[in-house]
Each structure stands twice: as C-alpha cells, then as structure tokens.
Amino acid sequence: MAKIIGGVTTSHIPAVGNAISDGLTQDPYWKRFFDGYGPVHDWLAEKKPDLIIVVYNDHGLNFFLDKVPTFAIGCADKYDNADEGWGLKPTAPFDGDAEFSWHVAESLINQEFDMCTCQEMLVDHGFVNPMRVLFGDHEIWPVKAIPLAVNTVQHPLPSAQRCYKLGQALKTAIESYPQDMNVVIAGTGGLSHQLQGERAGIINVDYDLACIESIINDPDWFANQSTQEIIEQAGTEGIETIMWLVMRGALGEKVNCLHKHYHAPISNTGAGVLLLENADL
C-alpha cells in the first residue's frame, strides 16, 4: 500500500529560483535561508521517497483569472515548467504518475472534494521552486511529482478549514492506493507577505511563528481562522499558508517535528521550513 512518510513546508518565492541559477545560495543575503533546508535534504536522501505531492497555488500561468478551479490535481505523466514573468529559466520537466493521480482524484471526489482533473498542467514557481530547494536541480528528477493546486489568488478562496479537511481526505486517498509507494506531501507558499497595495511589504513575525507552532501541535487554531482574519494578520499573499494545512491534514493527529526553521525577510516574505513525521510511524 502507499504510505505517507512525512510532510514538509517551504516558501516558493520566485527569487529563490534565480538565486539557485546564479549560484548565490551561500551569498550573505541567502545563506541563512538556504541553510534552513539542510536537515530536510538529509532526511530526503535517507528516505528516498517515490513520489511527492506538491500543494501549491498557480500564479496565473496554468490558470488565468478567467478560469480558476478551487482545487485542481495534475493527472498527467509529465509536467512542463514555464516562467510566468519572473525571468526564471525553465527547468527540466517533471515525471508524474497519472495512474496514481487518477486514484487520488477519484477517492477525493468520492469524499466530496470535487477536484478539477488536469491531463495537461504547466507548473509555475509555486511548484518548481519547492522542488529545486528540496531536491536541487536535475535533468531527470529523482522523484515523481504531482501538482495539487489550491486557489489562493482569485476570491472567493477555499477556507483554511476546507484545506485542512482536503488534507485529511488526501490521506485516505493515498493510503488506499494498492501499490507500495512512499509519499511525501509538501505544503508551499507563505508565510506572511503582501506584494501590492498600501500594506505591501508587511511581515508579521509573531503571527508566522504562531502559525508554525499551530501546524505542528494544534492545527485547529489556524484551521479555524477565516480568510479575512488570516489576510489581516499575514497580508493578501500570506493567505498561501492555508496550503500548509493540506499537508498537515494528510499526516496523523500527532506528529513529530524533525526540523523547523524560520527566516524573515527573504524577498518580500517570512519563510518557514518544517519537516514532520507521523508520531505513530
């Protein structure tokens, strides 16, 4: 049977992609941010997962504002990357697993999450930068990857609670796949940031740290907040943090936190890294 072996969180800021391409990861501005992934690299090297589900939001590359699914899952065997305007060099394509995706989609829909199923899906920095910071650059990626997109861009957005429940349904979906497979879930985006308007540049360190603690030990605290409350605290793009709840919901009730790291500001964002394992593994 397929098994969820852990969950990670990571920012997906576009500038990370350029910092990697330009060889700047040990530059004084970036060093502490990139060093925050060391224990996650070690864990991934040891566990060698077969597949990663990357929960991210599309930023207008695959879904423009005229058609935005609330939740979408890639059901393809290959996902191409393109740059939607950040000057990022496209990466090698990512191998998916269409059979696994269709199983997950069917299970989620049977659990009343009416996913948009995408047999073609271009993935943007929200998906690609997490892959690059977690695995490094590759011509052939060492893990299969499935994009799961959550609308955090065009209101109305799904609630934090709904994202948490989607994660719980995802756990059921994955654990009912008959083939042996070790799966990791990545929740990307966040923490606090706002890219436009009067509050552009806000970062709320206290709130970010509270969200990190909540994701580890008390997901209900964050899941019970409204979209408006989260945006007030974390900024308009800080709402991306609800995607961490999809990852958290897919783990068990209690988790062990193997690693946590927070760095702010980086680009315009408060960035958090978490590595969680189920406590009952």
Q: Can you give the binding site for ligand DHB, defined by CB under 6 A? A: 12-15, 59, 189, 193, 195, 237, 240, 267-269
Report the residue number, 252 or 265, with the smaller CB distance to ligand DHB.
Answer: 265
Tokens of 46: 């040891």
Q: How far is the CB of 265 from ligand DHB (least distance, A)?
A: 8
Report the residue number, 117 or 236, with the smaller CB distance to ligand DHB.
Answer: 236
52 CB contacts (<8 Å, ≥6 apart)?
Answer: 131, 134, 143, 144, 145, 146, 183, 184, 185, 186
- Give the active site residue among 103, 125, 261, 263: 125
Residue 263 is a catalytic residue:
no
Distance CA 279, CA 258 (A): 11
**Nearest of 14, 3, 2 to residue 188 by alpha carbon:** 14
221 CB contacts (<8 Å, ≥6 apart)?
Answer: 210, 214
Residue 155 is a catalytic residue:
no
Q: How far is the CB of 279 from ligand DHB (least distance, A)?
A: 30
Tokens of 173: 């979906």
- Give the active site residue among 12, 59, 103, 193: 193
Calculate helix-pair angle for 242-250, 205-217, nearest 10 degrees. 20
Report the residue number, 101 or 268, with the smaller CB distance to ligand DHB.
Answer: 268
Report the residue number, 97 or 240, with the smaller CB distance to ligand DHB.
Answer: 240
Q: How far is the CB of 63 from ligand DHB (least distance, A)?
A: 14
Q: What count of residues does the chain have?
A: 281
Q: How far is the CB of 152 from ligand DHB (least distance, A)?
A: 9
Catalytic residues: 125, 193
